[in-house]
Amino acid sequence: MIPILATINIYWFVLPLVVVISLVFSATRHEHWQPIVSGAIRTGIWLLVFLGIFFLVLFVVSWWN
């Protein structure tokens, strides 16, 4: 019997991690919900863009070799 988590692509785990990291990072700097949510959205977008660029660089390097 194969566990269900073993069949899931590992990149799907990036989305919940980005959400949690963004919320915790923003909540450590603010106390009210509105700045926490807006900061989490900005941090989440920043993280996804950074990870996307990193992925593209690694993809190009692996394709080139």
Percentage of the chain beyond pLDDT 90 is 75
Which amino acid appears at position 10 of this protein? I
Segment 1-14 mean pLDDT: 76
Place of tokens 């690694």: 58
pTM of the model: 0.78
The domain spans of the chain are 15-64
Give the residue with greater pLDDT, 1 vs 65. Answer: 65
50, two tokens: 């950074």
Model confidence over 23-54: pLDDT tens digits?
Answer: 999 999 999 999 999 999 999 999 999 999 99
